Amino acid sequence: MAQLEPYQAEFEMLGAGLVYIAVEKGKGLWRPAKYLHEHSVAFPVLLDEDRAITKAYGLYHACALDAFRIAHPATLVVDRAGVVRYIYRGADQTDRAPVDDVLLALRGL
């Protein structure tokens, strides 16, 4: 989340919004509901508690050395018609989309 927060104004200028999706139950192990209550973020957060969204986009990560039943970190740019125009699927839990690539995809809409 911290990677994209500084670009909030630029997203707004491009007419774009950002939604975080976390594969976690609100009262799960990492306590996202508590964290989000204590730490404000600039964008809405959706908890994908049943992993339906993660699976629909092919991002479900069943098992690896650094993951168990979670999502690959990913960034998607979806246009107003619901068409995915850009997707970056991280190779591991630390791999994130280059911000310049995300902004380029948004400018191309």
CATH number reported for the structural domain that contains residue 71 in this entry: 3.40.30.10
Q: How many domains is the chain built from?
A: 1
CA distance 85 to 42: 23
Instruction: Tokens for 60, please give them.
Output: 């479900």
Instruction: Using alpha carbons, select from 62, 70, 63 the residue that is nearest to residue 28.
Output: 70
Q: Which residues contact 43 (CB under 8 A, 6 or more apart)?
A: 1, 4, 5, 8, 17, 18, 19, 20
CA distance 75 to 98: 9
Mean pLDDT of the chain, nearest integer: 85
pTM greater than 0.85 (yes/no): no
Instruction: Tokens for 105, please give them.
Output: 């995809």
Q: What are 57-75's pLDDT values in tens digits?
A: 888 877 766 666 677 788 9
Q: Given a cut of 80, is residue 52 above it in pLDDT? A: yes
Domain that holds residue 33: 5-107
